[in-house]
Amino acid sequence: MGVTGGLLKILPNAAAFRKVDLRSFKNGIQHSTTTKEPTPLRIGVDICVWMVSADRAFGSQLGDERHFSNHGRAELLNAGETEESERERLERDLNYVNCCTEYIIRRLNALREETNVEILVVFDGATPPGKQTEVTDRRNRQAVYEQQRDEPVDTTGSREAEERRIKALRKAGASRHYAGVYTAVMEALRKERIPFLVAPYESDGQLAFLSMKKYIDLIVTEDSDLICYGASPILFKLKDSPMLEGIFEGILVCKEDLAANQGSVNLLDFSPGMLTVLFVAVGSDYSPKLDGIGIVTACKIVRKAFLSGHEDRLAMVFEGLFAAARKLSLTEEDKKVYKKKFMEALLAYRHPVIFDPVEKRCRLHGITHDGEVSETEAELLTHVPYAELVNDVKRRERITGCIQPPSLSILIAEGYVCPRTRRTRKNMTIPRNVKADLIQLGIWKDFNNPNGAETENERHDSSNSSNQVSGIKRKSLRDPRLKPCDEDSSTDSGDFLYSQPFSTRPPTNG
C-alpha cells in the first residue's frame, strides 16, 4: 500500500518533520483571522488503515487453537464437520468482527475525548479499475494463506506445518470477514454519532480533496499515497496501542516541509505535479518500478526534466528513467508498456473520482464538469499522449472509474449502498425515507426481511433522516440539481460538525 519506499527514505532526513501530540490542540486552533475565538481541530481519519491494524491484532481469533496441541488435534479429528463445530466457527467469526469494531470505536472515542478534535471518518469505496490487477493479486495471496490457515488437521504434528499455519494466521487478513467488519464499524459510528463519508473509490483521493478544500485541517493515515495526491498536512505513524497509550502522537508532514530535507533527496522547488511524478517513478500500486530507480535517482531525473526549461517534461523524465535503469535490454515494447502504466498512474493520482460534499455529487478532482483541466496541470499536459489520456472520457473511466449520478452518489457516501456492487448493504438498518429512495432507484433489496414487512428498527429510525448519522444532508432524488443554497440550512454555526455539508443534522420529528 502506497509508494515504494519513498516515505521511509524522506522521513528520517527531513529536519522539518516533527512529532506531534494531538492533545496539544485540545484548546482548538485559529481557523480565521476575522475571529479571535479558537475552534476545534478538524481531522479526517483514513479508517481502513485502522481496520487493517484491528485485523492484525485479532486475526489469530479466526484460527482454531486446537491445531497447535496433540489433544486439540485429536479432538478436531473426532469431531469432524459436525453441526457443533460449524456453530463454533460462526461464533468465532462473530467474536472477531465484534472485537475489531470495538477496538476501532474505542480509538476514535479516545481521540475525540482526549484531544477535543472533530473527526470525519472516511471509508474506502470501490477499487479503481486501474488498480484492479494489483488488488486481485493481493486477494489471491490472501486466499492462499486463508487456505493454509483452515487446512485439515496435520496428524504428524510437525513443526513445519505448525509454523506454516501460524504464518497464515498473520497473512490471511480479514478476507471474507472484511465486509462484516466494514458494516459493523459503520453501524457503530452511527450509534456513536461520529460523522463519516464513504468515498466513491479510494479514500486517499477523497481525503486529499477535503484537505485541499480546507474542509479538514489534518489527515490521519499510514498511507504514503496521500503525498502523491498533494494532500497536506498529514499525520503519519500515529501510535497503535491495545491499551490506548500514546495513541495521540504521530509524525506531522506538511507539503512545504518536504523542501527541508537535509539528505540526498532534495525536494526544494518541487511542484505538486513534480511530487506525483517522483513517487510514481519509484513505484506505486498503479505502476511498476524500473530496476535501479530509487528515490534519489528519480529525484534528480524529475528535477532536471522540469526545471531545465524543456517543453515536454514527461518525455525527458522517461528518457532519464530508461537511461538510468539497470536493465539495459528494455525493448521498445517494454518502454511503451511502462509509459502507458506511468501515465495511467499519474491520471489516477492527479484526477481521482471524489464526492464533493458541497455540490453533493461525484466529480473528477482537478477537472470541471465542462471538462476543463486545472491550470496547475499545465506542466504535465505538455506531453501530448498524457493530455490525450486526460481528455479521453472512455479511457479515463477505465482507470479512475465512472462518475455515478448525484442521487446514487449520495447514498454511497452515506454508506447505505455498496460502491462495489451498487446494491443495498447486508446487515444494515435502513431508515424508511432511505428505503424509499432506494426503491425509487431500483436498487432496494432487504436481505434480512425478504417478505418486505416493516421492521421495528425501520419504524424507530424513520423519523431520523439518514444524514443524521452518516453526516450528509440529503437532497431530494427528484431534483438532484438542487443548489446547496436552496436546501435546508438550519445548522449550528458554532460547531464544525453542523456547519459543514457532510455533518450531522439535528434530529427531526418525522
C-alpha span between 119 and 141 (Å, rounded)? 34
Structure-block grid coordinates of residue 135: 488488488
Distance CA(484)–CA(357), nearest Å, equals: 10
CA distances from 427 to 242, 445, 446, 463 (A): 28, 11, 9, 20
User: Taking the CA of residue 443 as centre, how many other CA atoms within 13 Å lie in the half-sphere pointing to its CB?
Assistant: 20
Task: For residues 416 and 426, give the distance between their C-alpha atoms in angstroms, rounded to a whole number.
Answer: 9
- pLDDT score of 429: 85
What burial class does residue 118 get, using C-beta atoms within 10 Å of its C-beta: 0-12 exposed, 13-18 middle, 19+ buried? Answer: buried
Q: How many other C-beta atoms are found inside a 10 Å radius of the C-beta of residue 36?
A: 7
For residue 272, what pLDDT is reported?
86
Predicted local confidence at residue 319, as pLDDT: 94
Per-residue pLDDT 10s for the chain (510 aa) are 455 445 555 554 544 567 888 888 888 887 666 667 888 899 999 998 888 888 777 876 666 666 556 566 566 666 655 554 677 778 888 888 899 999 999 989 988 888 899 999 999 999 999 888 877 777 777 777 777 766 666 666 677 776 777 677 666 666 677 888 899 999 999 999 999 999 999 999 999 999 989 899 999 988 777 877 878 888 887 766 555 555 688 888 887 767 666 566 777 788 889 989 998 998 888 888 898 888 889 999 999 999 888 889 999 999 999 999 876 678 899 999 999 999 999 999 999 999 999 889 999 998 887 778 888 788 999 999 999 999 999 999 999 999 999 999 999 999 999 999 888 888 888 888 888 888 888 888 766 555 555 544 444 444 344 443 354 444 433 333 333 333 333 333 334 434 333 443 333 333
What is the CB neighbour count within 10 angstroms for residue 302?
27
Q: Which CATH superfamily is domain 17-29+39-253 in?
A: 5'-nuclease (3.40.50.1010)
Burial class (CB in 10 A: 0-12, 13-18, 19+), 99: middle
Which DSSP letter does residue 506 get? P
Q: How far apart are CA 285 and CA 138, in angstroms?
A: 11
Model pLDDT, residue 449: 56
Annotate 450-479 with DSSP letters as a single string.
TT-PPPHHHHHHTTS-THHHH--PPPPTT-
Q: What does the CA dihedral 359, 360, 363, 365 come to, rounded to 10 degrees?
A: 60
**DSSP category for residue 126:** S
Write out the residue limits of the CATH 3.40.50.1010 domain(s) in the chain. 17-29+39-253
User: From edge to edge, which strands make up the β-sheet containing 249-253?
Assistant: 18-21, 249-253, 234-236, 218-220, 42-46, 118-123, 196-198
